[in-house]
Amino acid sequence: MSINNKNILDTLKSQVSTSYRVQHCNDIIWDNTTDVAVIGYGAAGACAALEASSLGVKVTVLDRLNGGGASALSGGIIYAGGGTTYQSQAGVEDSAENMMNYLRQETLGAVSEETLRHFCEQSNPNLAWLEKHGVTFDSTPYNEKTSYPPENYFLYYSGNELASPYRDIATPARRGHRVKGKGFTGRVLFESLNQSAQQHDNIEIKPHCEATRLILDQQDRVVGVEYLQAPDNKITQATIKAVNRLANKFAVLEPKTGTLIRKLVHRLRRRGKTKFLRVNQGVILSAGGYIYNRHLVKTLAPSYTPARPLGEDCIGMGISLGVSAGGRVQHMNKVSAWRFFAPPNTMLKGIIVNEKGERICNEDLYGATAADRVLENGCERAYLILDEKMMTEASAETRIGKMQLFQWAPARLFLSISSRKATTLDGLADKCRINYSQLQRTIDNYNSDAIAGKDRYHKATDFLQAIKQSPFYAIDISLQNWRVPCFAITLGGLSVNEQTGAVLDVDGNSIGGLFAAGRSAVGICSNSYVSGLSLADCVYSGRRAGHSAALAKSK
Residue 402 reports pLDDT greater than 90: no
Task: Give 75's contacts (C-beta < 8 A, 6+ positions apart).
Answer: 148, 178, 184, 185, 186, 531
Nearest to 522 by CA among 535, 537, 533, 536: 537
- Flag whether pLDDT at 79 surpasses 50: yes
Specify the CATH class of 340-476 in words: alpha beta
For 171-184, what is each residue's pLDDT tens digit? 999 999 999 999 99
Decide the pairing of beta strands 77-79 and 176-178: antiparallel
| Nearest C-alpha neighbor of 227 from the set 208, 241, 200 | 208
Does domain 5-74+185-337+487-551 match CATH 3.50.50.60? yes
What CA–CA distance (Å, rounded) separates 424 from 551? 69
Q: How confident is the model at residue 15 (pLDDT cuts 50, 70, 90)?
A: low
pLDDT value of position 1: 43
More confident residue, 58 or 311: 58
- Please tell me the predicted confidence (pLDDT) of residue 2: 47
pTM for the full predicted model: 0.95
- CA–chain centroid gap for 43, Å, is 12
SS (H, E, C) 437-461: HHHHHHHHHHHHHHHHCCCCCCCCH
Percent of the chain with pLDDT over 70: 96
On the question of pLDDT at 9 being above 90, the answer is no
- pLDDT of 282-305, one tens digit each? 999 999 999 999 999 999 999 999
User: Looking at the predicted structure, is the pLDDT value of residue 406 above 50?
Assistant: yes
pLDDT in tens, 439-469: 999 999 999 999 999 999 999 999 999 999 9
In the predicted model, what is the mean pLDDT of the chain?
93
529, 485 Cβ separation under 8 angstroms:
no
Alpha carbons 222 and 474: distance in angstroms, whole number: 55
The share of the chain scoring above pLDDT 90, in percent, equals 85
* Distance (Å, whole) CA 36 – CA 505: 20
User: Which amino acid, one-letter code, is at 249?
Assistant: K
193-212 mean pLDDT: 97
- DSSP class of 304: G
| Lowest mean pLDDT segment, chosen from 6-20, 371-385, 455-469, 503-517 | 6-20
pLDDT of residue 378: 79
Q: For residues 536 and 127, what is the distance between their CA atoms, to the nearest angstrom?
A: 9
Q: How far apart are the first and last CA of the chain?
A: 37
Rounded mean pLDDT of 264-289?
95
